[in-house]
Amino acid sequence: MSVARAAVASAVARNRIKRQIRASFQTRRIGLPAVDIVVQARTAASRASKPELRASLEWHWQELIKRCAVH
């Protein structure tokens, strides 16, 4: 897993975002479809709080589940 330096300049922020992605994925992986997943952090992620990151990731996991269920 990697977060682009161009999107998030601070190493501390990049590592915080990676930890949040990893933790969120671990809690949701049972319900996720068997597909390869790429999470691209945006610049706004470096300014987001932990609850905001979790909420955004949860929304994206739900969207992934919905889109894969349709196909």
CB 1 within 8 A of CB 22: yes
H-state helical runs in 8-49: 11-28
Quote the pLDDT of residue 70.
Answer: 80
Q: In this predicted structure, what is the pLDDT of residue 46? A: 92
pLDDT digit string (tens) for the chain, length 71 residues: 889 999 999 999 999 999 999 999 999 999 889 999 999 999 999 999 999 999 999 999 999 999 998 86
Least Cα distance to 13 among 38, 40, 48 occurs for 48
> CB–CB of 52/25 below 8 Å?
no
Asked if 47 and 10 touch (Cβ cutoff 8 Å), the reply is no
Taking only Cα atoms into account, the Rg of the chain, rounded to an integer number of angstroms, comes to 13
* Per-domain residue ranges of the chain: 11-70
pTM of the model: 0.86
